[in-house]
Structure 1
């Protein structure tokens, strides 16, 4: 068999093998349940019986499956085997975030890691890059290696998640998990989040109270945080009687975050009619990108445009213009999530059932810096000038 043929054969049997393992890990196949027959697998993957038997044979040798003569192939009960082989001192917690190395995530992770390590657990970090397929692979690793507990930031939490079965299997296997920053509502998990709707309301309200009416909001809406911040933004405009123009709200996805908001702001700034006086941003990271667009237009913050971020990240303090923003608890959020999951591990609980632990929501705080200014003083001055000019004309007549 030449190398090319061998590679094709290996790819085919790995595909069969991977599919069977996924069905075990997401709970489709439960211990002692019969799996699809060789013939069914041959038809499903359009492969030979030899390829199917290689895949099944490896899974049998690895302890995922077992055969019964004349009856078929069955899903093995791995829990008993794994518990027997587990070192009592091998205590481990997984932390899964959408990102690891940038923005506010290192602070969240440090807060959780310090608390977990203090209790003698090893910490394993994973990043989904806000991608469901990555989330699936990570959850399979968590399930196959039987971690004691998991802290999870949901991936694209505003849209339907294809990996819900994996979370349900975590519960079946009594592996507790706590969700941070957002949660999958259908699971009703223990979670530690921000009051994002109130935060979005406070962003808009701050600008409104400074006299701004042409306010544009930018929100990343494949994560539930963005949808809730947008909801708060719209509610504030309604409460204060500010007309809501559809063109003054831009939504974008994770894949568009590097391009779409900047392009849209540039378009607005070139329009005399739609040019905003105030901008509300999904987060500080976006605010930094939009500041670049504003500079390129030879405009200044806050002289020409006021801008409000969210998260009170390092960006807010190190930028050329110190950013008005909403405080995010960061390490405090990670620490609280760690305490919760450790308590669940200690009590042997994997879900809300029988738990006296409640989800927690941090309330937002507005941090006012130099990126916003009042328009009321300008209007009062303009009114005085108009009145003064009118008085002069009247005096001449």
Structure 2
């Protein structure tokens, strides 16, 4: 017959005290005073009756947050906000939290965040831009321990998972649209075209390549912001101001152009406002084109012709790759952990709206 389990109530009856007194004495509640005699009586009674204290549940450390880290070069361009939207939607569905590292294009900030990774212990890292080349050793070392996905320019060779973007292809698509409309003299406005920001240069190179095929490379005016722009913390209107200021400068030079292209939509918005201030009609006098198909591209007074390359989907895919790699790490095949490298690429799509048309001279 199973021996009856002795409880604090049994001890209280045998010792002639209340059950709460027994409970507090046996649980060492030192903030309550009992006489020495009462304490001894309860402890001796418990021992005589063979009382076994219940096994205490080991209090687990507070559950560690399942964390993903996202590196962004800035948060002023809606492009990065769209990427984050895609990442966050998928991460939330899978029960992950996000830690955002806004490097502001600073090498020191990027290094500082990378050195924080061992302490943060994320389950994965997503770079929404190309990592700085000088830290690739650190990144590849981290990639040996946790999944890392880079939303990068396709022309960069990296031994990590990637959601790729062929910036050269985007530039060619933009150029073909303008050439097919009959534009021959155009301007291209861009942020600084530095070695560190190679993806920008690739977009411009693709654009020039298409004009060069028509023997019109010399008909493209490239106006890029000064390198100092990338040395400062970006303001919410930084890229807009590049488009605005460089368009004003272009018009002051009285260069003959029938179309102006912004490297991205934010620059194109600055171009549009500068032209409007100078009483130019868009697209009647000058056509304008952007790239990225941000939300604002369809909300401007004259909807912007742009290029869609499925930014939100890229964010979701980057997160999906992380999840697949984490899952693969928990599964073995013939006792071996599978190793894989993912590369995803979307085909860009031209979105023709109200800011591009035939050049005036052909109307």
Q: For 2:61 and 2:327, how far apart are their aligned partners in 1?
A: 17
Q: For 1:218 and 1:297, how far apart are their aligned partners in 2?
A: 17
| Aligned counterpart, 1:392 | none
TM-score by length of 1: 0.65
User: CA offset at residue 243 of structure 1?
Assistant: 3.9
| Aligned counterpart, 1:52 | none
Match of 1:207 among 178, 182, 185: 178
Q: Secondary structure at the match of 2:133?
A: coil
Match of 2:357 among 344, 369, 373: 373
Q: For 2:307 and 2:250, how far apart are their aligned partners in 1?
A: 25
Q: 1:187 to 1:292 in 2, by over 3 A?
A: same
Q: For 2:214 and 2:251, how far apart are their aligned partners in 1?
A: 25
Q: Secondary structure at the match of 2:340?
A: coil
Q: Which runs of 5+ in 1 are unaligned?
A: 1-84, 382-397
Q: 1:121 to 1:310 in 2, by over 3 A?
A: same
User: CA offset at residue 263 of structure 1?
Assistant: 3.6
Match of 1:106 among 76, 81, 87: 81
Q: 1:129 to 1:254 in 2, by over 3 A?
A: farther
Q: For 1:228 and 1:116, how far apart are their aligned partners in 2?
A: 31
User: CA offset at residue 312 of structure 1?
Assistant: 0.6
User: CA offset at residue 142 of structure 1?
Assistant: 1.8
Match of 1:163 among 128, 135, 145: 135
Q: 1:119 to 1:249 in 2, by over 3 A?
A: same
TM-score by length of 2: 0.71
Aligned length: 286
Q: Secondary structure at the match of 1:374?
A: coil
Q: For 2:112 and 2:351, how far apart are their aligned partners in 1?
A: 39
Contact 2:184 2:219 in 1 (8 A): no
Q: For 2:155 and 2:210, how far apart are their aligned partners in 1?
A: 26
Q: Which runs of 5+ in 2 are unaligned?
A: 1-59, 231-237, 331-336
Question: Is the radius of gyration larger for structure 1 or structure 2?
Answer: 2
Match of 2:266 among 256, 271, 285: 285
Contact 2:129 2:150 in 1 (8 A): yes
Q: For 1:264 and 1:89, how far apart are their aligned partners in 2?
A: 49
Q: For 1:131 and 1:285, how far apart are their aligned partners in 2?
A: 21
| Aligned counterpart, 1:189 | 160
Match of 1:219 among 166, 186, 190: 190
User: CA offset at residue 362 of structure 1?
Assistant: 1.3
| Aligned counterpart, 2:18 | none
Q: For 2:64 and 2:339, how far apart are their aligned partners in 1?
A: 26
| Aligned counterpart, 1:72 | none
Q: 1:132 to 1:201 in 2, by over 3 A?
A: same
Residue 251 of structure 1 pairs with residue 231 of structure 2 = no
Residue 302 of structure 1 pairs with residue 283 of structure 2 = yes
Q: For 1:183 and 1:100, how far apart are their aligned partners in 2?
A: 22
Q: Secondary structure at the match of 2:149?
A: strand
Match of 2:115 among 137, 140, 147: 140
| Aligned counterpart, 1:269 | 251
Q: For 1:356 and 1:323, how far apart are their aligned partners in 2?
A: 40
| Aligned counterpart, 1:92 | 67
Q: 1:254 to 1:365 in 2, by over 3 A?
A: farther
Q: For 2:271 and 2:350, how far apart are their aligned partners in 1?
A: 20
Q: For 1:131 and 1:327, how far apart are their aligned partners in 2?
A: 28
Contact 2:154 2:167 in 1 (8 A): no
Contact 1:327 1:367 in 2 (8 A): yes
RMSD: 2.7
Q: For 2:205 and 2:265, how far apart are their aligned partners in 1?
A: 18
User: CA offset at residue 141 of structure 1?
Assistant: 1.7
Q: Secondary structure at the match of 2:355?
A: coil
